[in-house]
Structures are given as C-alpha cells and as structure tokens.
Amino acid sequence: MVLASTFGMTDATVDNWLRQDRIDRGEADGPTTSQQLELAAARRRIKQLETELAVARKVNEVFSAEGSIPCPVRDSTSWV
C-alpha cells in the first residue's frame, strides 16, 4: 500500500484503520470506536473498585485481628 509506505507504517495498520472506519460508519459489524473507549473506561473503573475493595478488606482484617472496629469508609460522593 502506498499510503502505508509513505507514512512509514505497515499495511496492517492502515487496514485496521480502514476496517474501524467502516465499523464506525455502520458498514461493517463490530464494536465502534466510542463503544471500545467506553468499555476500556469501564474496565479501568472496575479495576479501581476491585483495588479499593481489596484495601478495605485488608484494613478490616487488620482491625479485626486487633479487636478494633474501623470507622466506615466514605467516598467523596457520600459527604453531601
């Protein structure tokens, strides 16, 4: 492909871009760019929440071992 060699990229890169463009325009099946971005953001948020949950469980475990009761953890949305 002339376009690929002109810009120093592989034919596969250009093919992927063209395929994604067809999907975004509704001419081919598959997840649109906006759907892929939304899914990636959701996965990042899930990972963050899983990390926060693991930390909270560990804190609870430490306090339980000491016989103390930790204060409830509040996020920024619950301080209204």
Span 41-69, pLDDT tens digits: 999 999 999 999 999 999 888 888 777 76
Q: Where are the domains of the chain?
A: 1-30
Tell me what pLDDT residue 72 has.
64
- pTM for the whole structure: 0.66
Tell me what pLDDT residue 80 has.
43
Higher pLDDT, 19 or 78: 19
Is residue 78 predicted with pLDDT exceeding 60?
Answer: no
Share of the chain above pLDDT 70, in %: 85
- Mention every residue, 6+ apart, whose C-beta is less than 8 A from residue 28: 19, 22
Instruction: Please measure the distance between the N-terminal and C-terminal CA atoms of the chain and give it in whole angstroms.
Output: 58
